[in-house]
Amino acid sequence: MTDDKATKIVVHADERIAQINPNIYGHFAEHLGSCIYDGIWVGTESSIPNESGIRIDVVEALKKIKVPVLRWPGGCFADTYHWKDGIGPRGKRPVRPNIWWGGEENNNFGTHEFLQFCDMIGAEPYICANVGSSTPQEMMEWLEYLNYEGDTTLTRLRAKNGHREAWGFRLLGIGNESWGCGGNMTPQYYANEFARFATFANYPGSFFLVKIASGANSDDYDWTRRFFETISGRACGCKQSRLPLLRGFAFHYYCGTAGTATKFNEAQWYELLEKAMRIEEILVRHRLIMDDYDPQRRIELICDEWGTWHPSESSNPAKKLQQQSTMRDAMVAAISLDIFNRNADKVTMANIAQMINVLQSMILTDGPKMVITPTYHVYEMYAAHQAGASIPVRIKTTKISTKNKTLDAVMGSCSLKGNKLTLSIVNIDPKKYADVDVEIRGAGESSLTRWRVLTGDIHGCNTFDDPDTITPVDKPATDRKLLLDPASINVLTYELGNS
């Protein structure tokens, strides 16, 4: 039953990488398909239980995974969005075509509804401003509406629309995918646009804004270099650097096209996991370029869209980007979150795409029905890592030879909060158990207090009729010798004696 070669895991509890920013466990919701409408917003008249139009079942489920931050309104949609369309009495809001994702946008879910939703689930809002088809003026007015505390026409309008107080909103994205749907800009052009918008985001009441640039598409390192070359002033040999305007740089990375969401073979299981693992090299290479321009490492690396993007299984255009989430997607989530944890000294936010009904979602809905996906369970199990200190973990394990590469069978990450150590480890082999020996160094006595496992058939998924096919179970937490199930995601909790 076990493989002949054992896996040895050494946790260095007396070393630190950095604190894991909880925002690494962030999410993204766009006006796309039924992510917002039906997924979050059903309206006050709906027979689906809601609070001020927001689904209660979804809110309750999301509270359990401790969503730290939510990005909105896009995605591509953000660069067509005009915030004033989404305030005031709902019946009077304009209806416009959704040029990226089809259908019409009735604007029933706008600024107030989004911020209320964030409040209900306990998430910090991260708003992406329209750069591609708008002006700094429109962004400034939105910031005034959100954050200004004085008495102005816009703050009076805010009060009239039901919110007297300023929100004190903090995380501002300046455009989305500027190299593509955000305006097909060159990195040099976008760097200048970024600086222009970021300058005017220094609006009274908004001095504390964290300004985040739209970064490269996956491994486009050239884009990153040219952006930094321009914004730092090196390209023009200028003395003036505009780097101080920038606090975060956000790249995107999707993996997919290895079969479909539910139809894939074992080779495609590995192919997708291998693509997921690539994010480590990608973020390391982006950070190396950033180090060249920002040697003090003041600028944070963010991945504000990531996840699986499978070829569509639906003929309905409205559901084109809606996909099932199987055990394979859960494995992608676990591998990626472990990579972000291990790079916590540079990566400060990551937003999986997307929260509900779109791509690698946490939740699927159909009218009043709701089901939580295997990916959701990974977020719930891994929530223990949020705000912990990332601890180095070295793993010696068996190798798996795939068509393209040799992969480690077991990988993971570790964090420490007080005397509670959380070790997450995956066994990617869909057939073999992994015999694992865990050694915790530099912490005196330690005892395993809990072992949770998410496992199942590699095609296993949760459906409305069968919602608990893939669900975590507890295993007896006995000693350091562990036998990991094939295709399993494991979260181990240890109590340390001398932390």
The tokens for 380 are 């719930």
Min dist CB 497 to ligand AHR, Å, is 45
144 vs 177 by CB, closer to ligand AHR: 177
Min dist CB 261 to ligand AHR, Å, is 15
Which of the stretches 68-76, 84-92, 141-149, 165-173 binds ligand AHR when contact is defined by CB under 6 A? 68-76
305 belongs to the binding site for ligand AHR (CB under 6 A): yes
Residue 474 CA to residue 480 CA, distance in Å, equals: 16
Sign of the CA dihedral 140, 143, 148, 152?
A: positive
74 belongs to the binding site for ligand AHR (CB under 6 A): yes
30 belongs to the binding site for ligand AHR (CB under 6 A): yes
Binding mask 315-334 for ligand AHR (x = CB under 6 A): --------------------
Judged by CB under 6 A, the number of residues near ligand AHR is: 10
134 vs 413 by CB, closer to ligand AHR: 134
218 vs 402 by CB, closer to ligand AHR: 218
Among 33, 39, 68, 75, binds ligand AHR (CB under 6 A): 75
Which of the stretches 39-47, 74-82, 188-196, 475-483 binds ligand AHR when contact is defined by CB under 6 A? 74-82
Min dist CB 484 to ligand AHR, Å, is 32
The answer to whether 129 and 147 are in contact (CB under 8 A) is: no
Among 23, 108, 130, 176, binds ligand AHR (CB under 6 A): 176
147 vs 354 by CB, closer to ligand AHR: 354
308 vs 413 by CB, closer to ligand AHR: 308
Cα–Cα separations (whole angstroms), residue 298 to 188, 231, 301, 346? 21, 15, 10, 9
User: 125 forms bridges with which residues in the sheet?
Assistant: 70
The tokens for 55 are 């689904």
End-to-end CA gap in the chain:
37
The answer to whether 49 and 56 are in contact (CB under 8 A) is: yes
183 belongs to the binding site for ligand AHR (CB under 6 A): no
Burial of 165 (0-12, 13-18, 19+ CB in 10 A): exposed
Residue 219 CA to residue 245 CA, distance in Å, equals: 24
Among residues 152, 66, 174, 157, the alpha carbon closest in space to that of 110 is found at 157
The tokens for 84 are 């004033």
Binding mask 342-361 for ligand AHR (x = CB under 6 A): -----------xx----x--
358 vs 410 by CB, closer to ligand AHR: 358
Q: How many CB atoms lie under 10 A from the CB of residue 96?
A: 14
Q: Is 233 left (phi over 0), alpha (psi -120 to 50) or beta?
A: left
Min dist CB 182 to ligand AHR, Å, is 8
Note the residues at the interface with ligand AHR (CB under 6 A).
30, 74-76, 176-177, 305, 353-354, 359
